[in-house]
Amino acid sequence: MVAADVDDVAEGVLAGDRRALARAITLVESTRNDHRRDATTVIDRVLPATGTSIRIGISGPPGVGKSTFIEAFGTTLTEAGHQVAVLAVDPSSARSGGSILGDKTRMERLARDPRAFIRPSPAGTELGGVARRTREALLLCEAAGFDVVIVETVGVGQSELAVADLVDVFVLLASPTGGDDLQGIKRGIMELADLVVVTKADGDLANAANHAAADLRRAIHLLRPKYDGIATETLLVSSTQGTGVADVWQAVTGIHGHLRDSGQLTALRAQQARAWLWDEIRTGLLDRFRSAHPRADLDATEAAVMAGDVAPGIAAQQLLGRVDL
């Protein structure tokens, strides 16, 4: 892309142009070196206009109703005048590299909303399913004028750990299945949550949802508070009926406001920026390492280590010694 085109993309993002935003996100997701250079230029140009949104992470186990909740939640916000961006990280197959990318279908109403922007992004092999460039996509959405940015994760493995390093408020969704679901939520994940929301609290599941919420409140009570001066709430919602959705937004803004006013938000984002820096350094060094070694050499070294012919530490030192860092 020539310099003038890069300037046009950056200016388009700052003007809130959706096509320019989509094009910029495509650049940051690309693995081509020329696209990465262009993406870096665009990010640098728009950086002063970032940092103004409420960044919300939403996760939960498969089948909990993440997309249904996000559509109801996002629609409530756009109807209140907010500009909402949803970065929905899609599950990709580690074997095939495929990705469903079906979020616009799953959130059909929100996708048609002129005050919303939905961008599915393949997770690839990144830890926890959070795409490597989701951070940059988040910044681009902020620069484009979105005052609420939601990051939805695949909700399996350690995805919650990854998204917690991206957002201000982390919302954990739980289904109304009582003890079985509670057993499936690891202690470490519960400790990350700023807010817990039990979904599908309607109809035949209403009583089960109330019981699940009570179980979760008892579990959370045993944990050390994540932030000074604020406790983790457990709320009930019915995404299909819209009940409780406004309460979730009120809780999110309450948490965000407390963090902002107490200075904890500034410290949190500074820590996240530092983590981002070191993630980029690690990824960049690994990319250089892999590009410096033919695949056949790496395969042969792995085979020798697996066969016990050479110690892993020695093999690593030999490979690293051939890389010009």
Label residue 108 exposed, middle or buried (CB < 10 Å: 0-12, 13-18, 19+): exposed
For the chain, residues with pLDDT lower than 50 are 93-101, 128-129, 180
Domain ranges for the chain: 1-49, 50-261, 274-320
In words, the CATH class of domain 1-49 is mainly alpha
pLDDT at residue 60 in the model = 85
Instruction: Please identify which residue in the block is written with the tokens 């009583």.
Output: 207
Q: Report how many helices (DSSP H) and strands (DSSP E) the chain contains, helices first.
A: 15, 7
Q: How much is the CA Rg of the chain, to the nearest whole Å?
A: 21
Token digits for 93?
């197959």
The pLDDT value given to residue 26: 93
Pairing of strands 84-90, 54-59: unpaired
How confident is the model at residue 293, as a pLDDT?
86
Contacts of 94 (CB under 8 A, 6+ apart): 125
Given this model, what pLDDT does residue 155 score? Answer: 60
CATH homologous superfamily, domain 50-261: P-loop containing nucleotide triphosphate hydrolases (3.40.50.300)
E strands, 136-278, in order: 148-152, 169-174, 195-198, 233-236
Tell me if the pTM is above 0.75: yes
Same topology, domains 1-49 and 50-261? Answer is no
Q: Own/partner pairs for 134-139, CB < 8 Å, 24+ apart?
A: 134/87, 134/89, 134/166, 135/166, 135/276, 136/25, 136/28, 136/39, 136/43, 137/25, 137/28, 137/29, 137/87, 138/55, 138/87, 138/166, 139/43, 139/46, 139/47, 139/50
Those residues with Cβ within 8 angstroms of residue 98's Cβ, 6 or more apart along the chain or in another chain: 92
- How deeply is 155 buried, as exposed, middle or buried, from its count of CB atoms within 10 A (0-12, 13-18, 19+)? buried
Residue 235's contacts (CB-CB under 8 Å, 6 or more residues apart) are 195, 196, 197, 198, 213, 244, 247, 248, 251
- Helix 3-14, helix 33-46: angle, nearest 10: 40
